[in-house]
Structure 1
Amino acid sequence: MSSDLTKSSKFLTLPPDVRAQIWDQVLTPWTIHFRHVSLNPIRFCASLCIVPESDKQNASAPKAARKTNNLRHRACQASVSRALRILLTCRLIYTALSKLVFISADIVLSSRLLLNSLVGRLKPWQAATIRRLTLCDTEYALYWGTLPGALVATRLVNVRHLRIYVELSDEHYQGDEYDVSGSQTVLTQSDRDARLAGISALRVLKLERVEIWIADWTDEDEEEEGGEWSSAEQQAIWIERVKGILLGTIESPARFPQR
């Protein structure tokens, strides 16, 4: 049947390099957000990102011009399934394009539960084709004192580019009264390590590139107390440490949870 379909389809008779150019136009590398629809049972949806400003640009913008992750992406509602209706054209096109979708997309998650759920529901070959992953650590939704699910590291075997976007506000410098799971502040190195502890579990991946951006809304009073982490020099201390742990150039702290 497939040979008959190939003969009847002018598109499928085009040279492979020409078809590849067409796919490049159709499958422009997308940024796909995964969001919770409900927590009990856990259900989520996927939508295409339409925001031209990147996490990096937002984090490096003047404090007054920065926006939270939720505010920036609240208009990103375009359905991924609708955009991928071309995959339903025929079985050959579905087979040819399905992997390209996962290979080219940047998968963005703002919850540890979402990461576990998504990887658990994807077919092994789908998870294995993901190359880029972005974790948004906002309002402790991605509190990594708890490790990702066991399937995450074993199925995301081909992720090579990991990006982490962190949002900080005044409460992250306030001390024990805001404590979550033993450590919510970012006042000390151990506090910052604890905040991203579970991310260290992803060091088992064969990462080639790690990028981290921090958007900090600390007010002026906190800056005077030395709690500000918005300057590039101050952020670099934490960023380089986390990157080193993930890339294997720095030993993971013994206090990190282990499998």
Structure 2
Amino acid sequence: MDSTNTTLTQGPPSRLLALPTDIRLQIWHHIFSQAIHTAPQLFRSTLCTAPITDEANSLAPNGERGSYETRHRQCRSMDSSRVLWSRLRILLTCRLIYTEASKLVFEKADFVCSDRVILQRFLGRLAPWQLESLRTIMLCDIYHQLTWSRVIDRDVLAKLARVRHLRLYVELVGNDYTDDDTAGRTVNSESNRDYRLMWIHGMNALDLRSFEMWIADKEYRKRPGDYRTAEEQAPWIDRVRGAVMGTQDPQTEQPPALR
């Protein structure tokens, strides 16, 4: 075949790429502004598809609140994983789109971590440019086992250095109000509440711009220390906000009742 007579055929020009850059960026912001459940394996992260958000659940009337595990069970399915990666597949379209949008995945998404170990393993799997782009994380204290009751690791702080927005969801049940000192789950005292979230308080070393916290109290019987209403929750939320934003010193030692 005579190469001089050979012509290359191309498809029609991309309408997406023909859009002005600022319009394309708005599209990327819309696609990637989503809640993502992190996993120890980076490529097992899933899109949050819960019908009721954690914030809405915390504000629901007494008796209508659902547990975190029940509301987010579907989020951890393979279907949610496929939905997430189908949205990210657009990054593989061409080099221009990848260059424009890849960092926005980490800048715009809300990465949800259900415990300290998952967060640390997730961060350990991110590349330096991904850590540099990470802006928002949501931490969940839902297992009632003091999973955030340690001093935050320095290497974790270094990996979170670019995070600017922190969201915290705490879910309480009857065990959280126990008077049994050996259980180590009480939130009745200020020192115990500080100790429960000591790892999270350590994030006051970061340059955070915003902090949000919600408490979902599922205990239906009224007892001392319950946090079922906004008025009852406000003092604890204000104290955590002060500790995280650096305007108030948190408890840094294990309270005597838990030693």
Q: TM-score, normalised by structure 2?
A: 0.83
Paired letter, 1:211: E
Paired letter, 2:204: R
| Contact map agreement 1:168 1:214 (CA 8 A) in 2 | yes
Q: Which residue of 2 aligns with 1:241?
A: 239
Residue 13 of structure 1, CA deviation: 4.8
Q: Which residue of 2 aligns with 1:99?
A: 103
Residue 237 of structure 1, CA deviation: 1.1
Residue 19 of structure 1, aligned match among 24, 27, 31 = 24
Compared with structure 1, are the counterparts of its residues 46 and 200 closer, same or farther at alpha carbon in structure 2 (3 Å cutoff)? Answer: same
Residue 178 of structure 1, CA deviation: 5.5
Residue 193 of structure 1, CA deviation: 0.8
Tell me, in whole angstroms, the C-alpha distance in 2 between the residues paired with 1:241 and 1:196. 11
Compared with structure 1, are the counterparts of its residues 24 and 255 closer, same or farther at alpha carbon in structure 2 (3 Å cutoff)? Answer: closer
Tell me, in whole angstroms, the C-alpha distance in 1 between the residues paired with 2:252 and 2:141. 22
Structure 1 unaligned blocks of 5 or more: 1-7, 38-42
- Equivalenced residue count is 238
Identify, as 1 or 2, the structure richer in strand: 1
Residue 136 of structure 1, CA deviation: 0.8
Compared with structure 1, are the counterparts of its residues 21 and 198 closer, same or farther at alpha carbon in structure 2 (3 Å cutoff)? Answer: closer
Paired letter, 2:24: R
Bigger Cα Rg: 2
Paired letter, 2:203: L
What is the RMSD computed on CA atoms of the aligned residues? 2.4
User: Deviation digits for residues 93-119 of structure 1, max 9, x if unmatched?
Assistant: 222211011111000010100110111
Bigger CA drift: 230-239 or 28-37?
28-37
Q: Which residue of 1 aligns with 2:171?
A: 167
Bigger CA drift: 142-151 or 125-134?
142-151
Q: TM-score, normalised by structure 1?
A: 0.83
Residue 176 of structure 1, CA deviation: 2.6
> Relative contact order: is structure 1 or structure 2 higher (C-alpha 8 Å, sep ≥ 6)?
2
Q: Which residue of 2 aligns with 1:136?
A: 140
1:120 correspondence with 2:119: no
Structure 2 unaligned blocks of 5 or more: 1-11
1:84 correspondence with 2:84: no
Partner-residue secondary structure (3-state), 2:73? coil
State the identity as a percent: 42
Residue 149 of structure 1, CA deviation: 3.5
Paired letter, 2:185: Q
Compared with structure 1, are the counterparts of its residues 19 and 83 closer, same or farther at alpha carbon in structure 2 (3 Å cutoff)? Answer: closer
Residue 251 of structure 1, aligned match among 249, 253, 257 = 249
Paired letter, 1:133: I
Paired letter, 1:168: L
Tell me, in whole angstroms, the C-alpha distance in 1 between the residues paired with 2:220 and 2:177. 10
Tell me, in whole angstroms, the C-alpha distance in 2 between the residues paired with 1:34 and 1:177. 33
Compared with structure 1, are the counterparts of its residues 253 and 44 closer, same or farther at alpha carbon in structure 2 (3 Å cutoff)? Answer: farther
Tell me, in whole angstroms, the C-alpha distance in 2 between the residues paired with 1:152 and 1:9. 45
Tell me, in whole angstroms, the C-alpha distance in 1 between the residues paired with 2:92 and 2:35. 21
